[in-house]
Amino acid sequence: MAVRALYSLGLDSGEVLLAALGERKYAVQSLAPLRQTPGKPLPPPYGRVAQALAQRLAAEEPGRPRLLMGMDPEFLLVREPACRVVPASRYLPLTGVAGCDAGPPGTRGVFPVAELRPKPRGEPRALLAQLMSAARTADRLIDRSLRWRAGGMPLMGWALGGHLHFSGVTLTAPLLRALDNYLALPMLLLEDTRAGARRPRYGVLGDFRLQPHGGFEYRTLPSFLVSPAVAKGTVHLAHLIVSHYEDLPRRPLDREDLHAAYYSGDKSLLRAAFRPLPAQLRALRGYTQAARYIEPLFGFIAAEQTWDEARDIRKLWCGRDRE
């Protein structure tokens, strides 16, 4: 909560006093940003942290060629016409490239949510090939009569995420803000209106989790398994942003009205804020190779097209009719 409070105010560091309310609930009581006196070193422990961060950033190569990406986008198994969620644990193991996971609080079933967990790769196309392979594995294991649904909240109460994993890059607040503004913002413009119910409990800007492998997980996005086209664009765009985030300085979501619009789902304000961003992305080194995957997303946004979370995505990913 302390980190989120600082981040939402555009601060990279500071002191936050939390008040315990009981039952594992807390409230921000006060917040003080770090104030550096010109000509004087940062007070400990800020100075040590800043020095260590500067050393890690200095060691990174231009374009971050050692970047590795992974993911674990979620989807639901649905029995129609009743629209009943069938627990993924009936068909999928806890581990593996196609597995099951716990559902949102209040949902029923033991590990009811399905996940695809392709092996991490350094190149987007290689990662997407692993994703397609994971989808085929899931297809072999899951009852063919069941439909698959993805997105932000394809059924009421079932919030889904499309978490992206990164290693080979140093986690910084500017990196998270670049992902928020150049990735999460266009994804919101593409999403079904149902997905808005996922926020603010999920889909929070700058949401991350450190991982044991030394990298981090970006947790803001909904499940982009809604279609292969959206997934391809998302992965290529994310890789491009993380590789060159220092060249992406715009922060429209720092504006209070646009920050509020993000959480309320007011796309009219956000579309106008997004319009200058594609030009900056197109100017990045590496965009030419990724353009065939990213440009369709920009086209959907310009046409105000959104995905349909009631759609069965199984055939899209597995390429055959259910038996």
What CA–CA distance (Å, rounded) separates 198 from 204?
9
Please tell me the predicted confidence (pLDDT) of residue 320: 55
CB 114 within 8 A of CB 88: yes
pTM, rounded to two decimals: 0.94
Rounded to whole angstroms, the Cα distance separating 79 from 98 reads 19
Q: Which domain holds residue 236?
A: 68-318
Same structural domain for residues 189 and 280?
yes
Q: What is the pLDDT of residues 182-208, one digit of tens each?
A: 999 999 999 999 999 999 999 999 999
Q: Is residue 42 part of a domain?
A: no
Are 263 and 215 found together in one domain? yes
Counts for the chain of helices (H) and strands (E), in that order: 11, 10
Q: What is the pLDDT of residues 283-297, one digit of tens each?
A: 999 999 999 999 999
| Residue positions counted in the chain | 323
Confidence grade of residue 323 (pLDDT, cut at 50, 70, 90): very low
The pLDDT score that the predictor gives to residue 237 is 98
DSSP states along 170-195: ---HHHHHHHIIIIIHHHHHHS-GGG
Assign residue 314 the CATH number of its domain. Answer: 3.30.590
* Count of structural domains, the chain: 2
Examine the domain organization and report whether 18 and 153 are in the same domain: no
Domain match, 13 and 111 both: no
Calculate the average pLDDT of the chain.
94
- For the stretch 92-144, pLDDT in tens is 999 999 999 998 777 666 899 999 999 999 999 999 999 999 999 999 999 99
17 with 75, same domain: the answer is no
* C-alpha to C-alpha distance for 176 and 166, rounded to whole angstroms: 12
223 and 93, same structural domain? yes
